[in-house]
Amino acid sequence: MHEPRVFSDVFARAKTYPQYLTTAKPNELANWQNFEARVRLSADQQQMLKGISRRINILVISGTWCGDCVQQVPILAHAERVCPANLSAGNASPGIALRLIDRDIEAAFASPFKICGGQRVPAAIFLNEDFEFVSLMGDKTLSRFRLLAQRTLGAACAVPGAAVPEDEIAQCASDWLNEIERVALLLRLSAKLRQRHND
């Protein structure tokens, strides 16, 4: 595991979501944009996001070529848009700050974040306002694993390249929003942060 200084340094040179999309090849970019346009957050999810009272830094190890990244990272981008951190107000300003790095370009940094022994992506690293590690989530959410198991281990397999049904997008979004809420509550109830913010 890296020290907060390392997380902070990598976060500072990482790309915002729009910047990251500029690194995609044209055919990759279309996939990202098409999926992003299909993501919808419910009113309850948006209300939860707007209630975040601590900074959540999310550093995603990704690949523009990766189908799992295409079908999950835009959900995090939507969450950041609903509750963006005011970066000019300092590290302690509440909200979400999302940054992305390419797994292969940042291989040395990404190396410790193996999932089941592999360098899987996306790997979302949740950090507090001090860039201390809080949580790691990837490479698929629970709902995506359930659907994959059903299709792979069941009687029929999904057609490659088939469109993702709306209910699957909603389930995956719910998984990611649940983790954001869990992290938000963990940070809100942190004794260290409550003492610092006098709340």
- Return the HEC string of the chain: CCCHHHHHHHHHHCECHHHHHCCCCHHHHHHHHHHHHHCCCCHHHHHHHHCCCCEEEEEEEECCCCHHHHCCHHHHHHHHHHCECCHHHCCCCCEEEEEEEECCCCHHHHCCCCECCECCCCEEEEECCCCCEEEEEECCCHHHHHHHHHHHHCCCCCCCCCCCCHHHHHHHHHHHHHHHHHHHHHHHCCHHHHHHHCC
At residue 162, the pLDDT reads 64
In sequence order, the β-bridge partners of residue 84 are 96
pLDDT at 159 (0 to 100): 52
Task: Output the pLDDT for position 148.
Answer: 86
| CATH number for position 35 | 3.40.30.10
Q: How high is the pLDDT of residue 155?
A: 61
Residue whose token pair is 């909603």 = 170
Among candidate residues 74, 79, 49, the one with its CA nearest the CA of residue 185:
49
Q: Which neighbouring-strand residues pair with 99?
A: 59
pLDDT at residue 156, rounded to an integer: 57
Question: pTM to 2 decimals?
Answer: 0.95
Range of the domain at 152: 4-197
Q: How far apart are CA 157 and CA 80, in angstroms?
A: 34
Count of structural domains within the chain: 1
- Averaged over successive runs of 10 residues, the pLDDT of the chain (199 residues) comes to 96 99 97 97 98 98 97 98 94 96 98 95 98 97 89 64 85 98 99 96
